[in-house]
Amino acid sequence: MDRALWRLALFPNVTIIPVVSEPQHVSSAIRTGRPTDYMPVLSPSDLVYTSGAPAMTEAVARVGDQAAIRVISSSAL
């Protein structure tokens, strides 16, 4: 999925927030915690794409539901 992510990053108004659950020291751009810890305030015109464990994608979808936005999720198998 890294190629798709790099292509997406080229579009205007796209914010990519990489988050991992375990602390790492590879890059300061990668945050530790849960994606919902770093989600900005959302508006109905926003679109959120999430991928990962079902519990994580469901948590992001719940935040999206509260903001009445469209969330596209892909759960890991």
Radius of gyration of the chain from its Cα atoms, rounded to whole angstroms: 13
Q: For residue 77, is pLDDT > 70?
A: no
Between 74 and 43, the higher pLDDT residue: 43
% pLDDT > 70, the chain = 92
Q: For residue 2, is pLDDT > 80?
A: no
Q: What is the pLDDT of residues 15-44, one digit of tens each?
A: 888 888 899 888 888 999 998 999 888 888
Q: For residue 53, is pLDDT > 80?
A: yes
Q: Count the domains in the chain.
A: 1
Strands (E), the chain: 19-20, 31-32, 47-52, 70-75
Residue 27, domain extent: 2-75
